[in-house]
Amino acid sequence: MPALPTLLVLDADPPPRLGRLTGRARIAHADETTLAGQLPYADILLVWDFTSRAVRAAWPGEGARPRWVHTASAGVDHLMCPELAASDTVVTNARGVFDQPVAEYVAALVLAMAKDLPRTLHLQERREWRHRESQRVAGTKACVVGSGPIGRAIAKYLKALGVTTAIVGRTPRTGVHGPGDLNRLMARADWVIAAAPLTPDTHHMFDTRRFGVMQPSARFVNVGRGQLVDETALAEALSKRWIAGAALDVFEDEPLTSDSPLWEVPGLIVSPHMSGDTAGWRDELGAQFVELYERWEAGQALKNVVDKQLGYVPGH
Amino acid sequence: MPALPTLLVLDADPPPRLGRLTGRARIAHADETTLAGQLPYADILLVWDFTSRAVRAAWPGEGARPRWVHTASAGVDHLMCPELAASDTVVTNARGVFDQPVAEYVAALVLAMAKDLPRTLHLQERREWRHRESQRVAGTKACVVGSGPIGRAIAKYLKALGVTTAIVGRTPRTGVHGPGDLNRLMARADWVIAAAPLTPDTHHMFDTRRFGVMQPSARFVNVGRGQLVDETALAEALSKRWIAGAALDVFEDEPLTSDSPLWEVPGLIVSPHMSGDTAGWRDELGAQFVELYERWEAGQALKNVVDKQLGYVPGH
């Protein structure tokens, strides 16, 4: 009988659904302190704690390396390092699980801002009845930056709400604008939605210059990665009323500490990186990994394979 | 030359777009104190101030009465009285203007509640980063009570969000359930949306018994008329956690006074009757009246004619 493959799981809480692999894999657990020592003995690494940067730190070390790394997240920026990128190891991600939840979350933010819901809740706390006119969402224009499944799901939801929506991606193709159109599309948008992967190209792509081209009535939403945005520039754009509002679900440093000035930037909604996390999401992530494991076990091609140079799963 | 028709406008602020009728109508303005004295001289009454109940008070008086009354609102409950119902006077309403804005507003509330946005904003005020799982809206079930254009627009938006949606109306027909199905549909719904006209049949239709059939995880939204809901019963249902949340945009007594207990009912979002009022709405209401006026002037049949017995515009 051949030896069972060793599946090393980087986690704080054990993932659900892995019981299905009983007798089919030797499952070991690692934390940030033990990961480096265990990596040489693992065939597969499951990065369940996707908030951790331990892989990036441990990977360049000595010894053998897993042939397959799966991360229970859409982004892979927290684990990619030059040594992993240069290796033969296959990296897969949780493509698909977050599309609809994140798209719903963006729709919630866009509608809440259009309907002035934060102010309504604030006035309710003060027991003040103050009628205001709100905005119609249908007929507005959006620019979604990020042409992966999440960006496309966001665009689909916005279109269902009657919003004229353009998608911007790295490579222009049918239905997707290239980076050269970004400034022009941002300048006419009522809503700019950031849903791009974090790569050297996208780091701080939303900066003073980009907020400067937006309309004073426009609003900005980030559900991608915190490092897409120059947070200081955004805070300044809001304070100076270059733009009308913004919502951030992701931040350069997470969790945001209580002394961060971002909590109180006027017109900014702060949420704790929760856009994709609907009830049952851990089950879905676990089931998705088990499905990939079964393909790997059967010698079939994996799905959701990340292009390690690009930093995301390329697709149509 | 025939005398110009007299158009009496009940308003606080003069309506926009009526300049188009210059030289075609003699326009007079009334307020609550002068309405009774002016009614006998009016050919047409435009109820621009739709928060006023002055028509109901003044109509039963002495003298001639306008042949046509138009109200710049969807509901007609604020002006109907037995004498007007029994008369030959035609009553028209603002059918159509509010459909999409109200539907967007309901979508905003449903998404905000599913994504726990009120708590996010509350935690932001306290500078607390607290990740929570939220709910997926796609795959949930809604029951929309009210089968007019507003109810149907709400159903259309909810369906676009992936919500299985049933509509309940006074008369069962294709795509619309009759009142006999209401309890059953409410019992399985995640979202119950009230968008019915206020009539003797719908007064306090949402009472202790109806909230009692709802699921503990379900939420209730009222964008119709305050009197559809027994507010004390709703407050009790929320306090006892019979249901998970609610949002009221309309109330038995408006504006809600600062001493109302509703402001602080746990899980209740209070907004000041603003669901239909998006930027430009007064223009649209004015333009709609001018269009009806031109039909009337040309001797054509009016549109949006209210069935005064039913209390709304019957339609497919």
**Residues in B 137-196 with any Cβ partner in A closer than 8 A:** 137-138, 157, 160-162
> A99-270, what's its fold?
Rossmann fold (3.40.50)
Active site residues of B: 225, 254, 273
Cβ atoms of residues A187 and A212 within 8 Å: no
Q: Identify whether A29 is a catalytic site residue.
A: no
Q: Is B64 on the interface with A (CB under 8 A)?
A: no
At B190, the pLDDT band (50, 70, 90 cuts) reads: very high
What pLDDT sits at residue B1?
57
Of B139, B138, B147, the residue nearest B166 (C-alpha): B147
Chain segment B234-261, per-residue pLDDT in tens: 999 999 999 999 999 999 999 999 999 9
Of B275, B169, B267, the residue nearest B211 (C-alpha): B267
At A316, the pLDDT band (50, 70, 90 cuts) reads: low
User: Residue A1 pLDDT > 90, yes or no?
Assistant: no
**Chain B contact set for A263 (CB, 8 A):** 124, 127
Sequence letter at residue B153: A
Q: Is B128 on the interface with A (CB under 8 A)?
A: yes
Which member of A121, A133, A281 has the closest CB to residue B121? A121
Rg (CA), chain B: 21
Which pair of tokens denotes residue B7? 């158009």
User: Residue A263 pLDDT > 90, yes or no?
Assistant: yes
Measure the CA–CA gap between B110 and B105, rounded to whole angstroms.
Answer: 9
Of B15, B37, B209, the residue nearest B27 (C-alpha): B15
Of A116, A266, A110, the residue nearest B271 (C-alpha): A116
User: Residue A262 pLDDT > 90, yes or no?
Assistant: yes
User: Residue A313 pLDDT > 70, yes or no?
Assistant: yes
Measure the CA–CA gap between A167 and B200, rounded to whole angstroms.
Answer: 50
Measure the CA–CA gap between A182 and A44, rounded to whole angstroms.
Answer: 39
Non-local (6+) Cβ contacts of A186 within 8 A are A143, A192, A210, A213, A214
What pLDDT sits at residue A3?
84
Cβ atoms of residues B91 and B45 within 8 Å: no
Task: Please give the angle made by the CA atoms of A156, A162 and A164, to the nearest 5 degrees.
Answer: 75
Q: What are phi and psi of A111, to 5 degrees?
A: -65, -40
What pLDDT sits at residue B33?
95
**Chain B contact set for A124 (CB, 8 A):** 263, 269-271
Cβ atoms of residues B206 and B229 within 8 Å: yes
Measure the CA–CA gap between A49 and B147, rounded to whole angstroms.
Answer: 48
**Number of C-alpha atoms within 13 angstroms, CB side, residue A313?**
21
For B28-40, what is the mean pLDDT?
96
Chain segment B262-283, per-residue pLDDT in tens: 999 999 999 999 999 999 999 9
The alpha carbon of A213 is separated from its chain's Cα centroid by a whole number of angstroms, namely 24
The alpha carbon of A187 is separated from its chain's Cα centroid by a whole number of angstroms, namely 24
**Residues in B 80-109 with any Cβ partner in A closer than 8 A:** 100-101, 104-105, 107-109
- Compare all CA atoms of chain A with the CA of B120 and give the residue at the minimum distance: A271
Using the structure block, give the residue that is written with the tokens 């042949």: B67
Cβ atoms of residues B114 and B136 within 8 Å: yes
What pLDDT sits at residue A218?
98
Cβ atoms of residues A249 and A222 within 8 Å: yes
The whole-angstrom distance between A130's CA and the closest CA on chain B is 6
**Chain A contact set for B257 (CB, 8 A):** 129
- A100–B130: do the CB atoms touch at under 8 Å? no
Chain segment A49-108, per-residue pLDDT in tens: 988 999 999 999 999 999 999 999 999 999 999 999 999 999 999 999 999 999 999 999
Chain segment B195-238, per-residue pLDDT in tens: 999 999 999 999 999 999 999 999 999 999 999 999 999 999 99
In what helix (H) or strand (E) does residue A6 lie, and over which residues does it extend? strand A6-10
Which pair of tokens denotes residue A128? 């003040």
Which pair of tokens denotes residue A260? 């961060």
Task: Please give the angle made by the CA atoms of A298, A300 and A303, to the nearest 5 degrees.
Answer: 125
> B6-96+280-297, what's its fold?
Rossmann fold (3.40.50)
Helix (H, G, I), strand (E, B) or coil at A40: helix
Measure the CA–CA gap between B271 and A123, rounded to whole angstroms.
Answer: 9
The structure's pTM equals: 0.95
Per-residue DSSP letters for A296-313? HHTTPPPSSB-BTTTTB-
Task: Please give the angle made by the CA atoms of B52, B58 and B64, to the nearest 5 degrees.
Answer: 130
Which pair of tokens denotes residue A30? 């690692």
User: Residue A315 pLDDT > 90, yes or no?
Assistant: no
For B76-86, what is the mean pLDDT?
96
Which pair of tokens denotes residue B302? 């009016």
The whole-angstrom distance between B162's CA and the closest CA on chain A is 10
Q: Identify whether A297 is a catalytic site residue.
A: no
Using the structure block, give the residue that is written with the tokens 């968008």: B195
Measure the CA–CA gap between B226 and B299, rounded to whole angstroms.
Answer: 37
Mean of per-residue pLDDT scores for chain B: 96
**Chain B contact set for A121 (CB, 8 A):** 118, 121-122, 269
**Angle subtended by helix axes A99-114 and A149-160, to nearest 10:** 40
Same fold, A6-96+280-297 and A99-270: yes
First to last CA, chain A: 42
Handedness of CA A100, A101, A107, A110 (dihedral sign): negative
Sequence letter at residue A312: Y
Measure the CA–CA gap between B226 and B205, rounded to whole angstroms.
Answer: 11
Non-local (6+) Cβ contacts of B111 within 8 A are A104, A107, A108, A111, A112, B117, B137, B161
**Chain A contact set for B165 (CB, 8 A):** none
Per-residue DSSP letters for B145-170? E--SHHHHHHHHHHHHTT-EEEEE-S
Q: What are phi and psi of A272, to 5 degrees?
A: -90, 70
Cβ atoms of residues B154 and B106 within 8 Å: yes
Cis amide prior to B40 (ω within 30 degrees): no
- A108–B121: do the CB atoms touch at under 8 Å? no
Which residue ranges make up each domain of chain B? 6-96+280-297, 99-270
- Compare all CA atoms of chain B with the CA of A98 and give the residue at the minimum distance: B136
Query: What number is the ipTM of this complex?
Result: 0.95
Measure the CA–CA gap between B251 and B228, rounded to whole angstroms.
Answer: 9
Strand order, beta sheet including B90-92: B26-30, B6-10, B44-47, B68-71, B90-92
Chain segment B98-142, per-residue pLDDT in tens: 999 999 999 999 999 999 999 999 999 999 999 999 999 999 999
Q: Is A50 on the interface with B (CB under 8 A)?
A: no
Measure the CA–CA gap between A246 and A243, rounded to whole angstroms.
Answer: 8
Measure the CA–CA gap between A115 and B277, rounded to whole angstroms.
Answer: 10
Q: Is B6 on the interface with A (CB under 8 A)?
A: no
At A268, the pLDDT band (50, 70, 90 cuts) reads: very high
- A127–B161: do the CB atoms touch at under 8 Å? no
